[in-house]
Amino acid sequence: VSEGVLDFTVGSFACHVVPDGVATYEKETLYSDVRPDELEPALIALLNDQGLLQVPYHPLLVDTARGPVLIDAGAGPALAEEWGDPIGRLWQTLPTVGVDPGDVELVLISHAHVDHIGGLTVGDAERRSPVFPRARHVISRTEFEYWMSDRLPDDLAEMGELARLHLTPLERAGILDPIDGEQEVTTGIRMIPAPGHTPGHVAILVSSGSETAIFVADAVLGETQFEHPDWSSHLEVDRAEAIRTRRKLLDEAGRDSITVAGYHLWGPGTVRRQADVYRWDPFVRQ
């Protein structure tokens, strides 16, 4: 499995997959309630020596005329230490594409799970500061209010705490911008609601000239879901809605032949509907 920087272009935009690292999960965490005799063979190439599923964390950096736009921010050092996984390394890969955290103009947050937002702030609990201090940080208002609410179900309480830990300092610094519905957040970059994984989960459309790409974030949890689009995770807030969203995004991406990237995909590619499932053509074969 290669973990290099993966580049592609969309019209005049240069896009860079900037790896944050690779985490390991119990396979049933990502693909829950699947019969073991179906699950094991589908994942075999991605299992490590301990039988754990290897899952990449892949933020996307889009170079625009107005400056660098970062989509999702990695897990951050605290989660890396807690899990003992080689993650939380975005700060090392950003410079390899010529970007300093202080240069980032815009940070787009697909949703508020900690593997996507743990890299947004650093420091002690009481005095955390933004890693991207100059950037406007955009998140869906639905997402922001969901995790800020004090009525989260018990099993999501810890995730809620982590969301507040990273989002509150940005709000306090006046650089968090919750938005409603579908919006173009800068020229050529559009956030579109893609609910299910979380209530305010969004996908991001990147368009320049006649070309378009979509960052599906966690609407697709791994390449496995092209062949098995109806598998889902108990981590998803609404599993049925997550499946509907996944199918809708992949149907559209296939129909329009646009480039697809995702936070937990190993690299970009294109997708094609084939009967009731999808065929994935990665740009770089692993």
Name the residues that contact Zn ion, by CB under 5 A.
Answer: 115, 218
CA dihedral 150, 154, 160, 165 (to 10 degrees): 90
Minimum Å gap between C-beta 197 and Zn ion is: 8
Measured CA to CA in angstroms, residue 144 lies from 91, 138, 208, 275 at distances of 24, 10, 29, 37
Minimum Å gap between C-beta 7 and Zn ion is: 22
Q: Specify the length of the chain in residues.
A: 286
Minimum Å gap between C-beta 242 and Zn ion is: 12
Minimum Å gap between C-beta 6 and Zn ion is: 18
Scanning the structure block, which residue is given the tokens 């938005």? 179
Nearer to Zn ion, 13 or 144 (CB): 144
Nearer to Zn ion, 115 or 236 (CB): 115
Nearer to Zn ion, 9 or 29 (CB): 29
Nearer to Zn ion, 20 or 218 (CB): 218
Minimum Å gap between C-beta 263 and Zn ion is: 5
Beta-ladder partners of 259: 213
Nearer to Zn ion, 115 or 223 (CB): 115
Q: What is the 3-state secondary structure (H, E, C) of the chain?
A: CCCCCEEEEECCEEEEECCCEEEEECHHHHCECCCHHHHHHHHHHHECCCCCEEEEECCEEEEECCEEEEECCCCHHHHHHHHCCCCCCHHHHHHHHCCCHHHCCEEECCCCCHHHHCCCEECCHHHCEECCCCCEEEEEHHHHHHHHCCCCCHHHHHHHHHHHHHHHHHHHCCCEEEECCCEEEECCEEEEECCCCCCCCEEEEEEECCEEEEECHHHCCCCHHHHCCCCECCCCCCHHHHHHHHHHHHHHHHHHCCEEECCCCCCCEEEEEECCEEEEEECCCC
Minimum Å gap between C-beta 241 and Zn ion is: 16
Scanning the structure block, which residue is given the tokens 């990449």? 56
**CB-CB neighbours of 220 under 10 Å:** 28
Minimum Å gap between C-beta 113 and Zn ion is: 5
Nearer to Zn ion, 218 or 223 (CB): 218
Minimum Å gap between C-beta 221 and Zn ion is: 7
Nearer to Zn ion, 6 or 73 (CB): 73
Nearer to Zn ion, 211 or 241 (CB): 241
